[in-house]
Amino acid sequence: MARIVMKFGGTSVADLDRIHNVARHVKREVDAGHEVAVVVSAMSGKTNELVAWVQGMPKVTGANSPFYDAREYDAIVASGELVTAGLLAIALQSMGIDARSWQGWQIPIKTDNAHGAARILDIEGSEMIRRMGEGQVAVVAGFQGLGPDNRVATLGRGGSDTSAVAIAAAVKADRCDIYTDVDGVYTTDPRIEPKARRLKKIAFEEMLEMASLGAKVLQVRSVELAMVHKVRTFVRSSFEDPDAPGMGDLLNPPGTLICDEEEIVEQEVVTGIAYAKDEAQISLRRVADRPGVSAAIFGPLAESHINVDMIVQNISEDGSKTDMTFTVPSGDMEKALRVLEGAKEQVGFDVIQHETGLVKVSVIGIGMRSHAGVAASAFRALADKGINIKAITTSEIKISILIDGAYAELAVRTLHSVYGLDKK
């Protein structure tokens, strides 16, 4: 007997037939004797519709958001998950399974006060655990909790993943299964490289890099939580026949296991290639090279909520002037330029140069820590294809390369093959 948390995303619960299919996946685990909690998203498209409705309302001045009262935004957008939780509970009951839906506040899942992007602080799971012990399936509405102001708070887009992992940690589940419309995590985007392979296992840290670099399988926050609490998390497909052989395998279900690196015996040097589109590069030329200059540049950008990514500063030639280059999402570039012009006096730079339409391609693998030459092979392979590199940053387990957007697909395929990811 195990305790399992199963999470189903929007496409998996998109209509009543699919909800019925989800119920069959749940029934399989219940019939095997496991204790089960299920976390659901809203039906696909529902949250977008709700958000659009909020945005269609007149602006409210004085509310704690420039456009609308974020607490009311949460009250509205949290409703999608309530519907699917109730519908799935009914579908399970119709199959003779004891099931009950739970809204975030009923558990309660306690969050902080950051409405629209709240963080989970604590889950009071004792009643849910007690009932699961009696064989009742808990069907929990994802994406939401209860703020300190006693109001519904949502966890940010894609937040049901985080709900699921947090619940798995709180009830000490043996496993958290994230059912989605893909059957696992791939070495790269299969739409770009058809030879991409599904990974059996990936380490939390690698998944964190893959998720934050645009491999949109899981909300980044959910991977952070899984890493901190060591929740063994499977990414698997809800579209496979719930009763196909192996689907109920407790130790080795089909899909990708995200786990502690110690669980990965055959560590590859490189695990995957990720990319992030729509990057813009900004360079400040001839910046005064003195203490406080970086703070003067990046402080105002942070205050304007501009997410700065790669940062490259040159060592100055004569100790008086240097160049500073960094990237921001393309959509934030104009705003960033305005902020920087406003800070020109304080920073003391000569000119700003900028470019949009760039792509960041990243090579990821914890095996890199102990292998030399990983970066050199990437640079050689890109050079052989005539791809120019605009900026490079590295961490222990990642090499990120900024290139012209036109070469994104070629670069991804080139790097994928140079590390043999298409062969194993």
Binding site for ligand ASP (CB under 6 A): 9-10, 41-42, 47, 80, 142-143, 157-161
Least distance to ligand ASP, CB of residue 7, Å: 9
| Smallest separation, CB 297 to ligand ASP (Å) | 33
Which residue number, 213 or 347, has a Cβ lying nearer to Mg ion?
A: 213
Identity of the residue, 211 or 227, whose beta carbon is nearer to Mg ion in the bound complex: 211
The answer to whether 390 and 402 have CB atoms below 8 angstroms apart is yes
- Nearest Cα to Cα of residue 247 among 262, 236, 232: 236
Contact between residue 64 and residue 74 where contact means Cβ atoms under 8 Å apart: no
Residue 157 contact, options ligand ASP, Mg ion, none, Cβ 5-8 Å cut-off depending on partner type: ligand ASP
CB of 211 to Mg ion, least distance (A): 11
Is 104 a binder of Mg ion (CB under 5 A)? no
Which residue, 53 or 369, is less far from ligand ASP as judged by CB?
Answer: 53
Structure tokens at 121: 């602080």
Q: Select 80 or 158, whichever has its Cβ closest to Mg ion.
A: 158
Q: How far is the CB of 389 from ligand ASP (least distance, A)?
A: 35
Residues 312/305/272/220 CA torsion (nearest 10 deg): 150
Give the largest CA-CA distance in the chain. Answer: 78
Q: What is the 3-state secondary structure (H, E, C) of 65-113?
A: CCCCCHHHHHHHHCHHHHHHHHHHHHHHHHCCCCEEEECHHHCCEEECC
Shortest distance, CB of residue 9 to ligand ASP, whole angstroms? 6
Among 9, 80, 142, 255, binds Mg ion (CB under 5 A): 9
Closest by CA to 311, choosing from 293, 298, 330, 296, is 298
Nearer to ligand ASP, 80 or 147 (CB): 80
Task: Verify binding: residue 80, Mg ion, rule CB under 5 A.
Answer: no
Which residue, 21 or 160, has its beta carbon nearer to ligand ASP?
Answer: 160
Q: Which residue's Cβ lies closest to Mg ion?
A: 158
Q: Does 158 bind Mg ion (CB under 5 A)?
A: yes
Q: Phi and psi at residue 418, in whole multiples of 5°?
A: -65, -30
Residues contacting 11, CB < 8 A, separation 6+: 18, 44, 180, 181, 238
**Which of Mg ion, ligand ASP, none lies near 102, with the C-beta cut-off 5 to 8 A by kind?**
none
**Closest by CA position to 115, among listed 76, 164, 83:** 76
